[in-house]
Amino acid sequence: MKVTAERAALLKSLSHVQSVVERRNTIPILSNLMLKAEGSSLSLTATDLDIEAVETMDAKVESSGAVTAPAQTLYEIVRKLPDGSEVSLSLNVEDGRLTVSSGRSRFALATLPSSDYPVMASSEYGHHFEMTAGELNRLFEKTRFAISTEETRYYLNGVYLHVIDDNLRAVATDGHRLARVDMPLPNGAAEAPGVIVPRKTVAELGKLLEDADAVAQVAVSEAKIRISCGRTVLTSKVIDGQFPDYTRVIPVGNDKILTVDAKMFASAVDRVATVSSEKSRAVKLELDEDKLTLSVNSPESGTADEEMVVAYAAEPMAIGFNAKYLTEIAGQIERENALFEFADSAAPTLVREAGDDNVIYVVMPMRV
């Protein structure tokens, strides 16, 4: 195998696929990428046995062939080469090493046979639909922060993508907060099964769906999801579990409405939380007519409070939250104002974006 590619194009392709590879592997070949040169293209494949990413790029192929090489090392080499350079990859049949050369730089990497590289088993995808990369990315980006990291509740370790009424909906929750995003149902998606897309897959999709105007093709089965965008194909197993009935925790009839500038609110919470204890991160919200007071009282660090002018006309109340949860939710608000809908100091609070009913957040209060 001998192939030459532009450094910028090769680096971009490597950055899209190399992060699928786990840094620590008990199976050596899983630390490698598979490079396959044929025709006028070079394909790069990475897998951790649960996710497989394949990207194809244009290249000058002098002789075709395939080999696997260390993913992280190859990525770092190409990243450190000068801008505008060309990179030559050639396999030395005698010693089995992959030579990476550019200008006066030359590297020889240990390889493993491409015949040993695991390939994700093909799957029958019964449901196919298309949407823009921007639309699909929005579903995942606005919910991913609420994915649980608690491994024992594995069915919460992803984004639940499913069809409800005339919408394609994404939901994530960790039991303390919930994010739900709807968008109009794409053609062909009506009968698609609900799937829980794992946290790592959601993170990888953020790179795949960079071009918001590109068309993303989605294929879904009971066990896998495959997303193709441009010249990259990401295939992932889905979490085998039952996502809980999240609708039961979404409050209805919360009648105390706070309207606040989302960015100013997030900044104020972040400021007062500076003195909160690392363990609880608790911040207290005291609401009065058109006034919000944020306060923290930490026996170890001290106290802090800040007043904000807001729109609030209901009866006075006080409620506590984890500061991190508030700033993460406020950070998702794209428009100027966020609406907080309260029932009382012990009930879940509903947060929405003013003028957008397609996105809602739920956050549980805490004692302060």
Could you give the CA distance from residue 254 to residue 86 in angstroms, rounded to a whole number?
61
> Which strands, in side-by-side order, build the sheet including 302-309?
302-309, 291-298, 282-288, 317-322
β-pairing, 41-47 vs 65-70, is: unpaired
Fold of 2-116: DNA Polymerase III; Chain A, domain 2 (3.10.150)
Whole-structure pTM value: 0.92
pLDDT at residue 120, rounded to an integer:
87
pLDDT at residue 24, rounded to an integer:
83
pLDDT at residue 124, rounded to an integer:
87
Domain boundaries, the chain: 2-116, 127-248, 250-363
State how far the alpha carbon of 184 is from the alpha carbons of 180, 195, 219, 362, 368, in Å. Answer: 14, 18, 17, 22, 40
Phi and psi of 234, rounded to 5°? -115, 125
Evaluate whether 2-116 and 127-248 have a shared fold: yes
Q: 3-class DSSP state for residue 31?
A: helix
pLDDT at residue 293, rounded to an integer:
98
DSSP 48-67: -SSEEEEEEEE-EEEE-EEE
Per the CATH hierarchy, to which homologous superfamily does domain 127-248 belong? DNA Polymerase III, subunit A, domain 2 (3.10.150.10)
pLDDT at residue 113, rounded to an integer:
94
pLDDT at residue 368, rounded to an integer:
77
pLDDT at residue 299, rounded to an integer:
84
- Mean pLDDT per segment of 10 residues, for the chain of length 368 residues? 97 94 89 96 96 96 96 97 96 92 96 94 89 96 96 95 96 97 95 96 93 94 95 96 95 95 96 85 95 92 94 97 95 93 96 92 93
Phi and psi of 136, rounded to 5°? -65, -40
* CATH code of domain 250-363: 3.10.150.10
